[in-house]
Amino acid sequence: MSEEEIIAGCKQKNRKVQQYVFEQYKAHLMGVIRRYVYNVATAEDVLINTFLKIFTRIDTFSNTGKFVAWMRRIAIREALMEYRKNKRMDFMDPAELPSIQYDADIIEQIELEEIYACLDLLPEGYRQVLNLYAIDGYKHREIADLLGISIHTSKSQLRMARKRFSELLEKRSNNEKS
């Protein structure tokens, strides 16, 4: 089924096409959501809300980009809304940040599972900014708007997240060697 057929079917509220979209993209969107929502049951609720929003707001899809990218943006926004609803992110004051050096080479030597394990250990604010910037490709201005923080805070949180992430990876690497 082509992207145009999928979009047309969803706009006509065709249940078979909606089921096809759900089956085709649920794993991908769940992976996106799980980077922001760690509780599986809550992530499943966010996934359902994401698809509900996709199907009810399909008329807002402008055909200027890929359909899957549009769905990813909805999933990210839904996950962040869920997170904000239940928790307040703690961000460090940028004035308190030390000078940071990290070893970028260590990142090239790790497995995907190790990356996810280390991401899980990052403080919430660090993880949110790192996911949005490094994985989802948002710019600092967009991150600031999404999270309700300043651009400077976004940049400093990314810097601290990279440092902490590198430390966690190095620690895991050293533990495996011993």
Specify whether the CB–CB gap between 119 and 90 falls below 8 A.
no
Reported as a single tens digit per residue, the pLDDT across 107-141 is 444 566 667 777 778 888 888 898 899 888 889 99
169 Cβ contact list (under 8 Å, min separation 6): 106, 107, 110, 114, 115, 118
Our count of domains for the chain comes to 2
Domain boundary among 68, 86, 104: 86
Together in a domain, 16 and 80: yes
> What global pTM score does this model have?
0.64
Domain that holds residue 131: 94-177
Reported as a single tens digit per residue, the pLDDT across 10-22 is 999 999 999 999 9
Tokens standing for 14? 């065709």
> Tell me, what's the pLDDT at 134?
86
Together in a domain, 112 and 65: no
Q: What values do phi and psi take at 51, rounded to 5?
A: -65, -35
Together in a domain, 110 and 78: no
Which CATH number goes with the domain that contains 125? 1.10.10.10
